[in-house]
Amino acid sequence: MTRTRRQFLASGGAAGIAFLPGWFPFVGGDDSDTDGTDTDTTTDDRPPTLAEREDQYGMSIDFPEEWLQKYRPAFVADRDTMQQSMGLYGHRVRYDDSDYQYAYYWHKLTHQEGILFDADSHLGDHEPTIVRVDSDGAIDQVTYTFYHHLADTVEGARLTRALRAREVAEPTHIQLRIIVPWHNYAVVEGTPAQSVSFRDVQGDDNASHLRTWETQGIFDPTADEAVWSPRTVQDRGSWWDESTTDYQAAQLYLRLGQYIDVAGSGEIDQ
């Protein structure tokens, strides 16, 4: 029986994507795929300050903890997977020219133990989720990594079916199944068969977690605008910098998905 693209990815079958032309076995984004060319747009070696980032993208960053707790994702995962969790980090982004607010989360895990030995195994793993909230406080759409930092967006009726309630009466938590072993996500509609876990959101008004990971080189192969300006990710299709092999492979993968139905998010019913 032919599986749909959503069934394919939800089952973990996306492992084969690593062998698409131009996409060599990967290391989850912690090592750069660049050719050594310096892609920093600044005139010196220091990264831009937070104020410079905010000015660059016409936005502001803060950490309203209660607000971020309200919209954090609900992780559907087994106990072994959640034991690898090192924390859920987040901050809010508000743009000067928009009424939308963005809750931007990064789930940090201890390691990724893949199926291709050293090729897709590495220490440290950072998986993003972006929740867009409208002026009425309702979740309008969610963008998340459905495979190897490729982006997919859920909205409308499907989003409604994937939300669950916790602290407040209305459902405000997107249910995301963590796919083993890569830790990307599949949207879960309805009542999950596995247990649901919540992580308290960590962070501060300076988005120090991003700046720390930036200094550590975690974001070397990642596009600056994707890290700092969440509303750009949906149109980009991935978090990768344009100079990387991963970005080129992601574009190929997404284009192929228009014709052979292999791209898209993992979607499961329970």
Structural element, H or E, at residue 61 = strand 59-62
Q: Looking at residue 146, what is its pLDDT?
A: 85
CB 142 within 8 A of CB 132: yes
Quote the radius of gyration of the chain (alpha carbons, Å): 18
Rounded Cα gap, residues 56 and 51, in angstroms: 9
Q: Looking at residue 29, what is its pLDDT?
A: 38
Q: Looking at residue 205, what is its pLDDT?
A: 96
Q: Rounded to an integer, what is the distance from CA 170 to the centroid of its chain? A: 24
Structural element, H or E, at residue 59 = strand 59-62
Q: Looking at residue 257, what is its pLDDT?
A: 60
Sequential pLDDT tens for the chain (270 residues)? 333 333 333 444 344 444 443 343 333 333 434 344 444 444 567 789 999 999 999 999 999 999 999 999 999 887 787 788 789 999 999 999 999 999 999 999 884 454 344 444 333 468 999 999 999 999 999 999 988 788 999 999 999 999 998 866 789 999 999 887 777 888 999 888 777 889 999 999 999 999 999 999 999 999 999 999 999 999 999 999 999 988 888 888 777 765 444 434 444 444
Pick the closest to residue 151 from 141, 139, 162, 143 (CA basis).
Answer: 143
Q: Looking at residue 99, what is its pLDDT?
A: 97
Rounded Cα gap, residues 219 and 216, in angstroms: 8
Pick the closest to residue 179 from 99, 69, 267 (CA basis).
Answer: 267
- Maximum Cα interatomic distance, the chain, rounded to a whole number of Å: 56
For residue 201 the two structure tokens come to 């959101």
- pTM metric for this prediction: 0.77
Q: What pairing do the DSSP bridges indicate for beta strands 150-155 and 163-164?
A: unpaired
Rounded Cα gap, residues 176 and 77, in angstroms: 9
